[in-house]
Amino acid sequence: MSNPTLPPMPSERLLDLRDVQVGFATRDGRVAAVNSVTYHVDRGEVLGIVGESGSGKSVTVRAIMRLLAKNAVEGAGGSIRFNPDGDRELLLSAEHKNSRLMREIRGGRIGMIFQEPMTALSPVHTVGTQIMRTVMLHRKCGRTEARARAVELLGKVQLPNPEEMVDRYPHQMSGGMRQRAMIALALCCDPVLLIADEPTTALDVTTEAQILDLLKSLQDELGMAIIFITHNFGVVADIADRVAVMYLGRIVETGSVDDIFYAPKHPYTQALLQSIPRLGQARVRRLKTIRGSVPDPYNVPKGCPFHTRCDFADAALCGTELPPRKAFAGDQSALCHFAGELREAGQ
């Protein structure tokens, strides 16, 4: 099943995306949502993906899960490879949404949690039933065993009285409890990869802190890798080992969490970091901003996608030519003509 034209994945590599392209055919023409996205996830690490709305972060993980909408068009040159056990490379990008392999992988080897647990969970089934069905499907086990597993999982995500919670419906739980139930559901078959799409965005700060701590302790215990999607730089700093910053369907910068926060190379990363008001920061009169707004995806600027809002842009170069990916020490790279030549505006 592996693709002969791609070099084999190193053994620590769990997931490898190369040149992934996703567009959508709409009434108003084709929209390019994800352009040439390349990233990887190693076993047991947390990759944080940050970006504003419309940057393509969710569409990319939907391509991994093969859950793209019907009108999605994928570029032919791209590949998504997944090596769950270290001995077989699976080419997910060649799989159909409903293939036997994908149905095994989704919920079995890759778990997923979403922003809004109220809409992601079924409102007409108890939390226990939802977990049991997944366990019975993937583990081919009976009801009694599946129920015991559901109770065990609800305890693991630190819900009080798991024996009682297993028979509750989502509407009988608070937002924080529902998010815990969804994590239990995603972890029910011991996945090697957990995809978390803005899992704390809808929660209050104290609940968010609880969920982040829970995810970290579960990761320590179970050793799965996590792709954590968020627009909140504070959350990324708290949980990620490596970070990829997305803008208008492209990864504009990637590196270790320290490099991204303390030595960002891309003007977009730098500007974003400066535009967040930080706790304890000396009161400044004005926040730094990025001028304009994210261009609409039907009219992506030519050249560098960020040049229309960039303080360092050279209209002749940035406005016409897509920048190369410049590599730096420690696996950091930035999609910018001037990366490495700009003043580093980290903290």
Partner 1 sequence: MSVLPAEAMPAEVLVRVEGLSKHFGVKTGSGQALLRAVDDVSFDIRKGETFGLVGESGSGKSTVARLMLRAYRLTAGRVLFRLSDGTVADISALDDRAMRPIRREMQMIFQDPYSSLNPRMTLRDLIGEPMSVHGATRAEIDARVAELLACVGLRPEYAGRYPHAFSGGQRQRIGIARALALSPALIAADEAVSALDVSVAAQNINLLQDLQEQFDLTYLFITHDLGMVEHISNRIAVMYLGRIVELGETEEIFARPMHPYTEALLGAVPQPDPRKRRSGRRQVLKGEVPSAVNPPSGCAFHPRCPYATERCAAELPALREVGGRQVRCHFAEELALQGVEA
CB of 153 to partner 1, least distance (A): 20
- 197 lies in the binding site for partner 1 (CB under 8 A): no
CA trace torsion 283, 285, 291, 296 (10° rounding): 60
- 217 lies in the binding site for partner 1 (CB under 8 A): no
Interface residue with partner 1 among 56, 176, 255, 267 (CB under 8 A) is: 176
CB of 40 to partner 1, least distance (A): 20
CB of 182 to partner 1, least distance (A): 16
- 188 lies in the binding site for partner 1 (CB under 8 A): no
- 213 lies in the binding site for partner 1 (CB under 8 A): yes
CB of 85 to partner 1, least distance (A): 31
Taken in order 328, 332, 337, 341, is the CA torsion positive or negative?
A: negative
Piece of 57-65, 78-86, 292-300, 336-344 that binds partner 1 (CB under 8 A): 292-300
Q: Which residues are 23's β-sheet partners?
A: 32, 73
- 304 lies in the binding site for partner 1 (CB under 8 A): no
CB of 177 to partner 1, least distance (A): 8
- 289 lies in the binding site for partner 1 (CB under 8 A): yes
Interface residue with partner 1 among 261, 307, 336, 337 (CB under 8 A) is: 261
CA 297-301-304 angle, to 5 degrees, is 115
CB of 47 to partner 1, least distance (A): 14
CB of 241 to partner 1, least distance (A): 10
Cβ-based nearer residue to partner 1, 38 or 207: 207
- 285 lies in the binding site for partner 1 (CB under 8 A): yes
Piece of 12-20, 161-169, 290-298, 315-323 that binds partner 1 (CB under 8 A): 290-298
| Chain residues 49-78 in contact with partner 1, contact rule CB under 8 A | 52-53
The closest of 103, 105, 212, 98 to 158, measured between CA atoms, is 212
Using CB under 8 A as the criterion, which residues of the chain lie in contact with partner 1 when the complex forms?
52-53, 174, 176-177, 204-210, 212-213, 231-238, 257-258, 261-262, 271-273, 275-291, 293-294, 296, 347
